Structure 1
Amino acid sequence: MRFRAKLLDIQCILQFSRVAATVAKLSKACVLRLTPLKVCFACIDRAASGGMRVWCELEQGNFFDDYRIEGKDETNEIYIEMAADQLFQALKSAQTAQVVKIKLTKKHVPCLTTEIVVPSLASRSRSITHDIPVGIVPQRLWSEYQEPTMLPHDVSICLPHLRLLKSVVERLKNMDSCLILAANGKGSLTLQVETDVVSVTTHFKDLENPVVEGSEGNGQTVGRQDAEQSVEVRLDIKRFLQFIAAQQGTPEKVICNFAGRRGVQLFVLLDNVHIQYFLPGVMR
């Protein structure tokens, strides 16, 4: 197996670094799925640790000036597992980089090697190299790291600006460990914390109810999209805040699908990056 890629445009370098930072804030470990057309980050928590799923997808043509991959068979794909924070730390020095090179290497163990060329006060540029140990995911496990399917949902709504949402949730998290999130097809969203001592509710009005691509014609439900009746789900408030705080930059749109008691499926649209996040519902 062989893989090498090169980024030359500083905006692409910064955007790729922001993606690595987002993934690192959401999960300790991730699987990097490399295909001829896409680079995908997959993070999966087992049910015992919350059941959270993250999927982040980048079209390689939008980021890389050179991109070469040789997989082990006709699929021409490579799956590697690594500590998400190590990639983020490696890319920290890329803020003023002239070139970022990424390749799969064999040291004492398989590594994802990043070489970052930065300008220097001397006549020559200097190079910073990081070797990130990785594990090769066997092909029999590849099916666990595919793009999540669109879950049947009752209501789809665009969340308000994340900075405003974060300030609200940070205040609520000091009152309880659970957050009741509710929305309807008329653009109404509420965040509520309810305990034996206090009940606090924040209301957002006139939000967009989008029709999410793929939500029609596939047996999926948008049954209450035109109704005023709210659909609610109870979430781990720290998990929800972690999702909000992890986002880098200003997303064009954040869509939240209410998938009944199963939880919420969130879609973050940011430039050339699409991130999906599933947050499971919790029982009281």
Structure 2
Amino acid sequence: MRFRGKIVDVACLNHFTRVVTTISKLTKTCVLRLNPDKLFFVLSGKVANGGVGMWCELSQANFFDEYQMEGFNPENNEICLEVAPENLSRALKTVQNAKSVKVKLTKKHCPCLTVSAELPTMSSISRVVTHDVPVDVIPTRLWHELKEPSMPDFDVSIYLPPLKTIKNVVDRMKNLSNFLVIEANMNGKMNLKIETDLVSVSTHFRDLGNPPSGDGASQDGSPTRDPHSMAEVRVDIRKLQQFLVGQQVNPSKSMCNIVHQSVVHLILLHEDVSLQYFIPSVA
């Protein structure tokens, strides 16, 4: 079992660091899943039991100049590591001006992702900084829990307004309530609402557009939902705020799928990164 990657391009290093930093804001621990073509950051939260779920997918060729890995065996050519993304983020942030950065799976006092950076220097003597990020190797018998989550059979799919705008709204609402209702329809409308015994506040968005796949029709083409009908989910406002605060992916598209009174499925798409985040409803 081996893994070694090298990043030379500064823009790729900065982008990779932003992705890892985003993940670190969403969870204290997650699984880094490696295969020959892609990297995945996975949080297989039990959404049905109130936990959040996350699936972040990166194409290694868009980040690494060199990338080599060998899994447990040819039939399972993957490596799954439990890692604290904050530790990896911290290591990457300290080497942003490096001439090159190598990330390697090593065995020291425990399994580690070793981040080695060659830093620029005024002399002919190279200067190398090394960080060891402890990881746990996940045995193959547990890999079945790390599969990509299936796309929920949603009632509404809608494009999101600018995430910064949503963040500003949620930041204000969190001072009034611990819970927030997200509702939307297939006519491009979305509302964010809080209701307590003392106050009722709502923010309305219009003309957001709906992704083509969410056309409100069943597979045989027959309409299944009134486009003006609202689907809603009541969520823990802190979990939504956590998602918004940590976002550094700068997506080209951001979408929201709603399973009525069940789960909200947030999707951020960049040309070389996709991030899915699941927040369950609360009673």
- What letter corresponds to residue 131 of structure 1 in structure 2? D
Question: How many positions carry a matched residue from both structures?
Answer: 280
Q: Cα offset for 1:61? A: 1.2
* Structure 2 residue runs without a partner (length 5+): none
Match of 1:175 in 2: 176
- What letter corresponds to residue 51 of structure 1 in structure 2? G
Q: Cα offset for 1:211? A: 2.6
- What letter corresponds to residue 41 of structure 1 in structure 2? F
With structure 2 as the length reference, what TM-score do the two structures score?
Answer: 0.93
* Contact map agreement 1:177 1:238 (CA 8 A) in 2: yes
Match of 1:128 in 2: 129
- What letter corresponds to residue 139 of structure 1 in structure 2? T
* Contact map agreement 1:153 1:222 (CA 8 A) in 2: no
Change (3 A) 1:112 1:212: farther
Paired with 1:206 and 1:66, the residues of 2 have a C-alpha distance of 44
Paired with 1:272 and 1:98, the residues of 2 have a C-alpha distance of 23
Q: Is 1:12 the equivalent of 2:12?
A: yes
Q: Is 1:115 the equivalent of 2:116?
A: yes
Match of 2:105 in 1: 104
Change (3 A) 1:172 1:88: same
Match of 2:58 in 1: 58
* Residue identity (%): 47
Compute the RMSD of aligned alpha carbons: 2.1
Paired with 1:109 and 1:218, the residues of 2 have a C-alpha distance of 51
Paired with 1:163 and 1:78, the residues of 2 have a C-alpha distance of 35
Paired with 1:194 and 1:97, the residues of 2 have a C-alpha distance of 50
Q: Cα offset for 1:216? A: 8.3
Bigger mean CA offset, 194-203 vs 74-83: 74-83
Match of 1:282 in 2: 282
Match of 2:96 in 1: 95
Change (3 A) 1:212 1:84: farther
Q: Cα offset for 1:45? A: 3.3
* Structure 1 residue runs without a partner (length 5+): none
Runs of at least 4 residues off by over 2 Å:
44-50, 120-125, 215-219, 221-224
Change (3 A) 1:75 1:241: same
With structure 1 as the length reference, what TM-score do the two structures score?
Answer: 0.93
Match of 1:205 in 2: 206
Paired with 1:202 and 1:154, the residues of 2 have a C-alpha distance of 21
Change (3 A) 1:22 1:218: farther
Change (3 A) 1:103 1:208: same
* Contact map agreement 2:2 2:105 (CA 8 A) in 1: yes
* Contact map agreement 1:13 1:94 (CA 8 A) in 2: no
Paired with 2:209 and 2:47, the residues of 1 have a C-alpha distance of 32
